[in-house]
Structure 1
Amino acid sequence: MQSKPVRIGTRGSALALAQAHETRDRLMKAHGLPEEAFQIAIIKTSGDRILDRALSEVGGKGLFTKEIEDALLSGDIDFAVHSSKDMPTLLPDGLEISAFLPREDVRDAFISPKATTLLDLPQGAVVGSASLRRQAMVKRLRPDLEVVTYRGNVQRRLEKLAEGVVDATLLAYAGLKRLGLGDVVTSVIDEDSFLPAVGQGAICIESRIGDERIGALLAAIHHEETAICLTAERAFLRELDGSCRTPIAGLARVADSTVTLRGLILKPDGSLCHEGVREANIADAAAMGADLGLALKAAAGPGFLAE
């Protein structure tokens, strides 16, 4: 056993810690290592500190990864655990996504004391969400609803819902399950009518390129099917220059040796969307994802994404 514990970098929210603990536990089981072989290092990110504004106003997805990646590049941590949907499509030089854990449920959860489903909410009800994708998709399905930006960790969002700040909210079902909060869900929204975010439900691990010791450690818990799906989804997102400023949804599925990707881009008010589907051999997942991204960009025309 190594003399120094392996240092795992993570944000400090309850969900981020649950994901770091799941990664550690899988590594302990895969390699027969004790808990003390690992050390979890909590790193506060800009996204954790800025809670009074929408992410689109202050820099987008990189706000949840920059400080962690700085610690990785400096050698303060050995690898980092992230929610895949928080990851920018371009990583800093010297870093790579080296492993994915098996993907959880990809769907969004509807939570409300006022209605059983989103479609059942009374006219003019207030829905809170921090996600531009969810905001746009809610407006697409129910243009009569008021949608407000609603940030904070999962527990705080549920507290504000109980306090009556909003009438309903939407959260990733996977995150609620990982926190043991599945019982708060009023209903789970079908992915066909409410396409999830790229990477939703998937935990990814980021490490330094060329670090063979960490690469060998992580290889034992890597889930190849999730990696294929995320390769397609992230290639799709990259062509659209996707960030927290753009309502984009995408989901890939693997069956035998075929990967199928469905993608969607929306105007922020939900008034217009462009969507498409592509299918390819798993070896061509990245090219297929990029092709769908370019096709939707062309269909939308100049200025659509910039809005």
Structure 2
Amino acid sequence: MLRNGYICFSFFSFSKAKAVMAKVGYPQFIMNDTYINEDIKTLKFTESDYFGNVLQARKYAAQSDFYWLRKEVPKTEWFTSPTTVNAFYSASTNQIRFPAGELQKPFFWGTEYPRSLSYGAIGVIVGHEFTHGFDSNGRKYDKNGNLDPWWTTDSEEKFKEKTKCMINQYSNYYWKRAGLHVKGKRTLAENIADNGGLREAFRAYRRWITEKRGGEEEPLLPGLEFTHNQLFFLSYAHVRCNSFRPESAREQIYIGAHSPPQFRVIGAMSNFEEFRKAFNCPTNTTMNRGAESCRLW
């Protein structure tokens, strides 16, 4: 890439990153009983008509969506329930959302536990959502959420060339539970976000150690010999732990946007040099891809 083109690309990428809007916890109106009661006064739920209650709720949600037709994208509005245990990135509004339901153990451990646990869990999730703004889909939207080609042709071609490594890596993973290989192309955006989020969160943790603790490591947990760099990665693996029936596993492969949980862990960690250092992984093993490692961000 030409030097001037690189500087220009870096500037616009930085501008988009700085423009990301973060929504954490819950919207302010949820504390206003008067506002809420006025908003839902048309709903008449009964204990004896569950089906009717569901239809009412769906109609209410549909009408709320129709309200925004022909209007400017409502970037300050919340479209996620505070009780949702998940996190999101919206390309059309360039925002990341972390409902209150996600801000609890085992994602966020609070201040009474080592920070390594939280950085490895909710920290990676924050990085994951942030990286979605620069994945194979999110990169197409500019800092204002407009579907506008803001990358140079050269940058796009180099990006696509780099994605081939990650597509091949994940396509080679075979999930015994499903009896199928992972679809590396289908899951590309999420794999990019997993890899980027892991790197960003680890860097943030080490920066916290340097700046807030003067380089002094956190005290080890009683009875455990794991370092906090190791605990960071174990915490990430912990939140990805899942159990699947074979039927659900096959469905995940065919229509899921994410790689199977075990490969979300193995895939990202085996690409990351800091993981290899933390666990002294031999070169060219499952958890140390060495020269075959993939990286986009």
Structure with greater strand percent:
1
Give the TM-score of the pair, scaled to structure 2.
0.21
> Which has more radius of gyration?
2
Larger RCO (alpha carbons 8 Å, 6+ apart): 1
